[in-house]
Amino acid sequence: MPTPRDLLNQAKASIREVDLPEAQTLLEAGRVTFLDVREPDEYEQGAIPGAVHLPRGHLEFQVEGKLPDKSVPVVVYCAGGVRSAFAAKTMGDLGYADVVSMAGGFNKWKDGGYPWAAPKTLTPAQRNRYQRHLLLPEVGETGQLTLLGSKVLLLGAGGLGSPAALYLAAAGVGTLGVIDMDVVDESNLQRQILHNMDRVGDRKVDSAKKTLTSLNPDVNVVTYDVRLGADNILDIIDGYDVIVDGTDNFPTRYLVNDASLLKRIPVVHGSIFRFEGQVTVFDPYNGPCYRCLIPEPPPAELAPSCAEAGVLGVLPGIVGSIQAVETIKVLLGLGDTLVGRLLAYDALEQSFRTFKVRRDPTCPACGPDAGEIVIAEYDELCMPHRH
């Protein structure tokens, strides 16, 4: 009957160990996965930055889900180098091509002054709030932490911005910027569900912030009670991961397009008209931009704004919710986004159609000959400015 010591010696004889300096060299070189096989309470106190966490007891059944590519080199570590030696042997048996165990473990690593950090984890309250996300392997704790660390800017707290902001706040997007310069009017309440009768006369951004923070106190709502213009757009959008565009006029859409290209920020675009809505995603230089889709604005008499045209009250709820879905997909890298596709919804037909949209090689904003874009106020022709 072998003793535990015999088993450890057998395991160590069949694997390779690396010392701490060699492990650090591998960490700095990248292209290697560090696998932390300690228990959750040990991991939460501190871990090697970027390490994948999988307790030793779950290794056999979960490692292929966590580390699907068996050709990527792995450095396994635990607290002292024992559990990691057994884990490395098991992974070799499972077909992982290049697995080493870090001798000395995390305790020696930490004592030696090597880099470590307390990993971000969800609080018990967050685990409860987002449990339906955690049950989706495509989101999980990593995805929820990504959402909590994400910043999304909503252009407008109106018809489209209302449902988009509510669902993004509920989903736990950690920072929501809201830009709007209007006050709440009773005629908004037919569709702008961020606001209510008590807020009539209030600034829309203040009303939006109240509603969103009462829905989810995790969300930091940053308000911009200004008109979005050439003078401020680059400063405002800087640092956001995604822009949700719910604006209703052409000069602003072209301005947003050109500024987002310059800053390389994806834009989830939505528009509504009477009983119809459209959604698409503009991913700078990876798909068409707004100018590829609509090279020039229609004449003013053919392009009435919402205020003049009328819109079915529920319609922005559907379109803005699709914008929220696309935003979360972009943030988490999930599924097929609407990059390169325009989704058109017709409420009277009750139909959805998608149309392919391609990059325009002669696009004056994102085409190869477009040159450098200068952000400036647009006239009714909305052509991009040049140096």
By CB under 5 A, name the binding residues for Zn ion.
Answer: 289, 291-292, 363, 365-366
Q: Closest CB to Zn ion among 18 and 279?
A: 279
Nearer to Zn ion, 289 or 319 (CB): 289
Rounded least distance, CB 343 to Zn ion, Å: 19
The residue among 128 and 362 lying less far from Zn ion, judged by its C-beta, is 362
CA 319 to chain centre: 19
How many C-beta atoms surround the C-beta of residue 171 within 10 A?
Answer: 21
Beta partners for residue 53, in sequence order? 36
Question: Are 210 and 196 in contact, with CB atoms under 8 Å apart?
Answer: no
Q: How many CA atoms lie within 13 A of 52 on its CB side?
A: 19
Using alpha carbons, select from 327, 324, 332 the residue that is nearest to residue 139. Answer: 332
Least separation in angstroms between CB 359 and Zn ion: 6
Residue 75 parent element (H or E): strand 74-77
CB of 370 to Zn ion, least distance (A): 8
Q: In this structure, what is the dihedral angle of CA atoms 82, 86, 88, 90, given to the nearest 10 degrees? A: -170
Angle 257-363-346 from CA coordinates, rounded to 5°:
60
Q: Give the nearest distance from C-beta 65 to Zn ion in angstroms.
A: 39
Nearer to Zn ion (CB atom), residue 59 or residue 292: 292
In the complex, minimum distance from the CB of residue 154 to Zn ion, in angstroms, rounded to a whole number: 23
- Give dist(CA 199, CA 185) in Å, integer: 8
Rank residues 36 and 245 by Cβ distance to Zn ion and give the closer one: 245
